[in-house]
Structure 1
């Protein structure tokens, strides 16, 4: 029970009102220090529960979030889920997305802010078969390339930067499964080397991949964001969540076998393959530890990089406003999490 001493009791004991106030403050602070409240926080994943989120679930399993008084729950995403809509409406307090949809959402006036990112460099690549490799954007000429509809403007931007015209390449919609590459229906597939690339490798398919960031399309993935008003009103909670997330991802990268096992046996969506999950987390490591993460710590924000990404989207005709990185990002949360 918290220590309480009202004015009447204090006077009976011969204690001044000022002294009783000081005692109450002292014991109140002590009680608070010993019984810090564990606060819930809901996190909306942009995709199903799999190894790309292994760092988060390792944190749940190892108690890293509870260590910082956060009861973190992670809500599954998927093809029929609107992750940004769920965060913007308050169904979840934080979420993750590749940076592209977040730039578009902010450009449209949705009041979200990026506060951290797991993948400092996107594994997004143009994947081809090793026997017929596409080794540069220039080699896309005359080829049939599958690309998600949302990424089409960015591919056109890259083509233009490489001296190609839109009609130099036959662009078709991409399915989630890259099987069409194996059957020869397409020459190249735009997807994640850590996801579709691993999918193909696990089937015994030899592939070749070029990373789109190396050709002028910088991107971050598992980019963490929240609604502005929630972030402003809950800074301590959000910083504590990020502290737990940093330690969680460090543990996961250091224990890939254990993390893959956790996802297959305990936390992941049904039907995950252990070997594929293990391969994916191992291949993800250099993308997570890339760039600013190597100097400032995991999940850090490279704010100037976000200005570059916004400019690419503006040049590609996707961003319509004069938005800058300061409008999109708030690095104070992860900076504080990494410094304390």
Structure 2
């Protein structure tokens, strides 16, 4: 998920503000800077550039949630010009996060990765349009020009076909990270995240309508945590410890969006993050993170039937040709052990 980049509003780290944020971070009962103890390093490959979509992880560094369980993670920045899954598959990082589609495609190609947790239980992936000319249902796509990424194009085509339309009923064009073309009138719809590109538009004063793809039969997860299978098996205790820290950190982060945003804008995030956009993004992300298994089972939990539904959709659009199952794609034992350990 790309972030809002605004050099003119870059905020520098100020002693008073950062002190207040740190005080807030360490005030949560049961979470604070951990006592000195032996910790094990772990490299986590981010899918995108460091921004508020990873706020929970960086709050966990700041407040000691990870050290509490003996883990010292390093979060490696991603971006548009790299393949995060390849970095994990090659061992440059041990685990990482991606939208589920990229992981399914990698698994389909024989790359030995396994899903072990998930941040966004419901995907904020949507077809964004201007409120004055909204695209409210897939049928409304007829005759429209819609921008979509290469990886998202098969899913958009599935929406089109399921609506009883033909692919050539919609003018599909490549998307850019910034949805500005929607405002200029070059396109009628933009496939992206309402919590990200949608927030970009809202903070620019643009009224939008978001047609959530999952609500029209395209289930997806994002912020999906995965690792190489051999590493996961050989290091289960370390991985479970990381997930314990991540669960605590994300719980705190969602309950405390302002100090989390300060940390990302002033300390951990990429230069030029827009404070208001980042704050809006984490607030609007909360219901997507806490949806489904996130509330029924616990933060970062895996919903196996949901993953089977996702695989079935990818098979339907031709992106999966093997007999892949949710059990082959996911191993819920790691997050289940982490959540059970937090309850005990």
Q: State the match for 1:178 in structure 2.
A: 179
Query: Is 1:169 aligned to residue 157 of structure 2?
Result: no
SS of 2:114 mapped into structure 1: strand
Distance 1:250 1:117 in 2: 13
Task: For residues 81-100 of structure 1, give each alpha carbon's deviation from its aligned partner in whole angstroms, at most 9, with x where no partner exists.
Answer: 21001000000000000000
Q: State the match for 2:134 in structure 1.
A: 133
Where in structure 2 are the equivalents of 1:71-82 lying within 5 Å? 71-82=72-83
Distance 1:295 1:135 in 2: 29
SS of 2:152 mapped into structure 1: helix
Query: Is 1:294 aligned to residue 295 of structure 2?
Result: yes
SS of 1:64 mapped into structure 2: coil
Distance 1:36 1:232, change over 3 A: farther
Distance 1:81 1:270 in 2: 19
Distance 1:142 1:81 in 2: 34
Distance 1:87 1:242 in 2: 17
Q: State the match for 1:194 in structure 2.
A: 195
Question: Structure 1 residue 36: deviation in Å?
Answer: 6.2
Question: Structure 1 residue 189: deviation in Å?
Answer: 0.4
Q: State the match for 1:312 in structure 2.
A: 313
* Higher normalized helix content (fraction of residues): 1
Distance 2:37 2:307 in 1: 36
Distance 1:157 1:265 in 2: 41
**Structure having greater relative contact order (Cα 8 Å, sep ≥ 6):** 2
Where in structure 2 are the equivalents of 1:39-58 lying within 5 Å? 39-58=40-59
Distance 1:71 1:295 in 2: 29
Distance 1:155 1:205 in 2: 24
Question: Structure 1 residue 80: deviation in Å?
Answer: 1.3
Aligned length: 307
Query: Is 1:62 aligned to residue 63 of structure 2?
Result: yes
Question: Structure 1 residue 37: deviation in Å?
Answer: 3.3
Question: Structure 1 residue 232: deviation in Å?
Answer: 0.2
SS of 1:55 mapped into structure 2: helix
Query: Is 1:244 aligned to residue 271 of structure 2?
Result: no
SS of 1:301 mapped into structure 2: coil
Distance 1:107 1:324 in 2: 11
Unaligned 5+ runs, structure 1: 1-33
Distance 1:131 1:207 in 2: 8
Alpha carbon RMSD of aligned pairs, Å? 1.0
Question: Structure 1 residue 190: deviation in Å?
Answer: 0.3
Distance 2:312 2:160 in 1: 16
SS of 2:66 mapped into structure 1: helix
Task: For residues 251-286 of structure 1, give each alpha carbon's deviation from its aligned partner in whole angstroms, at most 9, with x where no partner exists.
Answer: 000100000000000100000011111000000000
Query: Is 1:281 aligned to residue 282 of structure 2?
Result: yes
Runs of 4+ in 1 over 4 A off after TM superposition: none
Query: Is 1:215 aligned to residue 216 of structure 2?
Result: yes
Distance 1:280 1:35 in 2: 34
Unaligned 5+ runs, structure 2: 1-34
Distance 1:332 1:262, change over 3 A: same
Task: For residues 47-85 of structure 1, give each alpha carbon's deviation from its aligned partner in whole angstroms, at most 9, with x where no partner exists.
Answer: 000000000000000100000000111000001121001
> Who wins on radius of gyration, i.e. which is larger?
1
Where in structure 2 are the equivalents of 1:18-167 lying within 5 Å? 37-167=38-168
TM-score (norm 1): 0.89
